[in-house]
Structure 1
Amino acid sequence: MDIIKQKNTPFYKNKILLGSMASVLFAGVVYASTQVQLAGFSMKKNSVISAIVERGDFDIKVSGPGILVPRGIRWVSSTVAGKVERILVKPGAQVEQGQLIVELINPELDQKVQELYWELESMQAKTRALKVSQDTQILDIQAEVLNTQMQYDKAKMRLDAESKLIKKGNATVSKLDYESSKLTVSQLAKTIDINKARTKQLKLNLIAGFEAQTAQLNKLKKTLERAQFQSDSLSIKAPVSGVLQAMPLELGQQVLLGSNIAKFAKKGDLIAELKVPELNASDILIGQKVAIDTRFNQINGKVIRIDPAVVNGTVQVDVELEKNLPDEARPDLSIDGEIFLTQKQNTLFVRRPAFSQANQTTSIYKFDNADKYVLKTLVSFGLSSSVNIEILNGLKAGDKIIVSEQTGFERHNKISMN
């Protein structure tokens, strides 16, 4: 019996097979085309920053960098010219009030002080000599007044005796002697009055002369005190207990009158100076609470001053700190601060996207449930802080969105995330 062999038809001549393959290929092309239309752009997940929408108490706060500064800074200036001889304390050291920190030298000033001492000793000797001379003059005129008084008393006794004899008619006393005695008494009486006036005037003159001498002596004393003060000022001491922050001096340097010597700050008496963006500064008020981050601890405080001027796009806000500061708190320490403006309870909020603005409606990219795609979504934002922003419409709690810059893909409505 003969066996009939069947011919094997090549696959490319098999119409049924070719039709099936064509159908599958067409379906794939259609599917791919659809996906390309829906997700015409793709990127990696790790190339963007995302955040999840939350519901809860939303703290509206403004943050900004800053530094700790002393509440009161005190510069010590030189009250005398001199050359730096010794520097005993370096910046950053703790000092006590009255502690010697710098020594200057000024040989001319030292010589001036010595010469003034000699002049003062000479002036004091002259003053003592003047006092002795004036006392002698007073004694001389007093002796003269006393002598005149004695002469007057003697002449008056003679005149009284002659008057009695003349009244009795006693011829032993001539009329000429009697008149002479009267004239003598009268002259002596006038001399006494003149001497009293001379004594009074002499005392006034002597007092004026002594006061003039005393004034010169006091002037010289003041000059010496000033020179001595300048000499003592060559030894510069700390005016307060605290931290020596700066000392722009070198050994051998010539220091001029009025030059800054050292900068001091009281330890522990610090405030924070924050730099806040000018767009957020309008909502800040005096007395608002502030949290200061030192990288190691958090310090609470409150706003005490808002600078009215804008510098380089920021506004300076001064913050008073709590009394018990941590050990790392020191002048010029870099910090970050958060100023609490207000709080909204039970509201939607999310980490603030880089492109978002408060009280505006903006398109953002929201992830689907599988995190495979992001879809452009219109979202209405409300109040914002430096970190978070309130959501009024367009998102719900648990939604995941892109918060980084979207300038490279913002023209696409749907993006595939790899």
Structure 2
Amino acid sequence: MKIELTTNRNKRRKWFLAAALASGVAYAAYGLTGADIPNIDIETLSFAKVVQGELNLYAEAYGEFYSAKERLLTAPAQGKVAEVLIRPGAKVTQETVILRLSNPKLEQELNQAKGLLAQQQAQKAAFEYEQQNQRLNYRGSIADIEAAIEEAELELKVNQDLMSRGVAAKIELQRARLAVKQQKKRLVFEREKYQQLQEMQLFQLKQRDIEIEQQQANIQVLTQQYGNMQVKAGISGTVQALEVELGQSVQLGQSLAKVGSDKELIARLRIPQRLADQIDLNALVDIDTQKGRVSGHITRIESLVTNGVVLAEAVLDSALPGNARPALPISAGIFMKTASDAVYIKQFSGMRPHSSQQVFVRDNAGLARQKTVTFGELSQGKLIVKSGLKAQDEIITGNVEALSQYAAISLVR
């Protein structure tokens, strides 16, 4: 009997162990299969449907507007800042005077140069009178020789008449002929000397003219320097920087201020390095200024990578919004390519590009089950689905953190 009692007691112990094990397995299965499915009012949830089709892919970029035209204002000569009329941020036109510089020495040099020019011009006028007198003297000498020739020819004619009558000696006739010949040679030489005198005088006048032209050019440079002591903007826009103070001494060529256009702007954008190779020159750009949108196209992409981004420039093709100005922060979408059969959803809070996340996917049985979904690029608010979802799937887009402990939820009305 004792043996039988021990046997029955062992059987009862095995039964209790088996029942406990079965209960544990059942409890585990209950948790794993999500048997504790909560009921959630469907009206309190929002859904997004997965779409499949053609999708234009844009690279998201950030940057700012820059002036398309910039002008650096430098000191035209040594001087001192006598007056500051415009401060940074003020709008200016081409003729707006930003600074006035003073340089008494430059003004003195200009006056001296003008005095020297007047002196040179007076000397040239006097020299022209001297040349004219020289020409008159030569013309007088030529006239005297021509008169002497006429006298010698007359004497020759008389001697020829006397010779024909047998009155004059032959020697006198020869002397008269020689006198005519000598005077004619003198006339030829004198005329050649007169021609050379005229040519020499032309070169002398040209030399005087060159000296005067050089002095006029010197005066023009000094006048321009003196006029530029009133430092003008040169272009329409805004003063972006002022690098000197009132009373400060400046040297020739020293930077004074910078002016940039405010109506002609370009966009400088920072593109993620992983996307830069997919963007071509002339790629279309959609720029958002928070108060308006403007279109453009890429004109330059730098090859240097800094902190994981590549800088690019875009020219604007449409009218600027009212808030557009240099240094205004902007965001932009840069066209990369068109995906013909992309699977995507509209991005909602919590969904991050290039990540794997748990989402609740709605089924036809009135349930929403958790699934692991891998997302790819984000393009203009549309998030590409790489895996885990298919077209027409619906996912819960509301705040579902409180439901993340459940494998599934029941959707009720």
- Range of TM-score over shorter length: 0.7 to 0.9
1:308: Cα distance to partner? 2.5
Structure 1: runs of 5+ lacking an equivalent: 1-24, 40-49, 407-413
Which position in structure 2 is the counterpart of 1:349? Answer: 345
Q: Distance in 2 between matches of 1:356 and 1:265?
A: 38
Which position in structure 1 is the counterpart of 2:42? Answer: none
1:111: Cα distance to partner? 0.7
Which position in structure 2 is the counterpart of 1:144? Answer: 141
Q: Distance in 1 between matches of 2:138 and 2:103?
A: 53
TM-score under structure 2 length normalisation? 0.76
1:36: Cα distance to partner? 8.1
- Change in Cα spacing, 1:229 to 1:174, as seen in structure 2 (3 Å) is same
Alignment of 1:165-176 (within 5 A): 165-170=162-167, 173-176=168-171
**Does residue 132 of the first structure (1) align with residue 129 of the second (2)?**
yes
1:267: Cα distance to partner? 3.0
Deviations 1:160-196 (A, max 9, x none): 11111111212xx344433432332222222112211
Give aligned-pair identity as a percent.
25
Alignment of 1:325-404 (within 5 A): 325-341=320-336, 342=338, 347-349=343-345, 351=347, 357=354, 364-367=357-360, 377-381=371-375, 384-385=378-379, 388-395=382-389, 397-400=393-396
Give the secondary-structure state (helix, strand or coil) at the position aligned to 1:296. Answer: coil
- Bigger CA drift: 53-62 or 29-38? 29-38
- Asked if structure 1 preserves the Cα contact closer than 8 Å seen for 2:375 and 2:383, the reply is yes
Q: Distance in 1 between matches of 2:314 and 2:193?
A: 78
**Does residue 114 of the first structure (1) align with residue 111 of the second (2)?**
yes
1:102: Cα distance to partner? 1.7
Which position in structure 2 is the counterpart of 1:60? Answer: 57
Give the secondary-structure state (helix, strand or coil) at the position aligned to 2:239. Answer: strand
Query: Amino acid of the residue matched to residue 279 of structure 1?
Result: R
Which position in structure 2 is the counterpart of 1:100? Answer: 97
Which position in structure 2 is the counterpart of 1:284? Answer: 279
Equivalences, count? 367
Which position in structure 1 is the counterpart of 2:179? Answer: 184
- Change in Cα spacing, 1:197 to 1:145, as seen in structure 2 (3 Å) is same
Q: Distance in 2 between matches of 1:401 and 1:267?
A: 43
Q: Distance in 2 between matches of 1:205 and 1:242?
A: 57
Aligned residue among 223, 227, 232 for 1:232: 227
Aligned-residue CA RMSD (Å): 3.7
Which position in structure 2 is the counterpart of 1:43? Answer: none
Deviations 1:393-414 (A, max 9, x none): 323522248999x9xxxxxxx8
Which position in structure 2 is the counterpart of 1:153? Answer: 150
- Change in Cα spacing, 1:181 to 1:335, as seen in structure 2 (3 Å) is same
Structure 2: runs of 5+ lacking an equivalent: 1-19, 35-45, 408-413
- Change in Cα spacing, 1:323 to 1:349, as seen in structure 2 (3 Å) is closer
Q: Distance in 1 between matches of 2:220 and 2:376?
A: 71
**Does residue 164 of the first structure (1) align with residue 161 of the second (2)?**
yes
Give the secondary-structure state (helix, strand or coil) at the position aligned to 2:312. Answer: strand
Which position in structure 2 is the counterpart of 1:21? Answer: none
**Does residue 300 of the first structure (1) align with residue 283 of the second (2)?**
no
Q: Distance in 1 between matches of 2:98 and 2:398?
A: 58
